[in-house]
């Protein structure tokens, strides 16, 4: 496949990741207080600064929407790196260091998803999205 096919594939991936991120944020925003309560159980920053638990879904929605739009990468990338980085460290510590068995708040308060590999992957993908979008700019 030529250059146009590769660009279409990259754009499709960008749209998929952006929509997926925005939809995950919407799930959290459906019950922001329930999400915040679950999130406080494992997120290291939220445990130190509680308002972060309510800000996180909005930041995630911003990342997803900017990714879909392909706009304001200068804003999207640092926000995604920040929330993805804190999230990855928090999940890794809770699951693999402290060996805690928690429910993930990743798809909202009503989920019964265990905190673990999927949660860690969500955060690592967000970091990867940010790096990839910055590299596409240069």
Rounded distance between C-alpha atoms, residue 129 and residue 90, angstroms: 19
Residue 121: closest CA among 17, 10, 9, 11: 17
Q: Which of 38-42, 94-98, 134-138 shows the lowest mean pLDDT across its residues?
A: 134-138
Domain that holds residue 28: 3-137
CB atoms within 10 A of CB 8: 11
Q: What does the pLDDT look like over 7-28, one tens digit per residue?
A: 568 889 889 999 999 999 998 9
Q: What does the pLDDT look like over 43-100, one tens digit per residue?
A: 999 999 999 999 999 999 999 999 999 999 999 999 999 999 999 999 999 989 998 8
Residue 42: closest CA among 128, 101, 121: 101
Rounded distance between C-alpha atoms, residue 15 and residue 59, angstroms: 18
Q: Of residues 86 and 41, which shows the higher confidence score? A: 86
Residue 133 has pLDDT above 90, yes or no: no
Mean pLDDT, range 21-46, rounded to an integer:
92
pTM listed for this prediction: 0.87
With H, G, I as helix, E, B as strand and everything else as coil, classify residue 30: coil
Q: State how many domains the chain has.
A: 1
């Amino acid at each position: 496949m030529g250059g146009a096919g590769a660009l279409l594939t990259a754009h499709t991936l960008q749209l998929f990741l952006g929509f997926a991120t925005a939809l995950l944020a919407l799930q959290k925003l459906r019950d922001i207080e329930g999400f915040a309560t679950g999130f406080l159980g494992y997120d290291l920053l939220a445990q130190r600064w509680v308002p972060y638990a309510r800000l996180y879904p909005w930041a995630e929605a911003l990342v997803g929407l900017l990714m879909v739009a392909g706009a304001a990468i200068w804003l999207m990338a640092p926000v995604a790196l920040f929330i993805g980085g804190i999230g990855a460290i928090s999940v890794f510590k809770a699951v693999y260091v402290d060996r805690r068995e928690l429910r993930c708040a990743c798809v909202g308060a009503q989920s019964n998803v265990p905190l673990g590999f999927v949660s860690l992957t969500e955060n690592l993908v967000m970091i990867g999205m940010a790096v990839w979008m910055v590299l596409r700019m240069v």
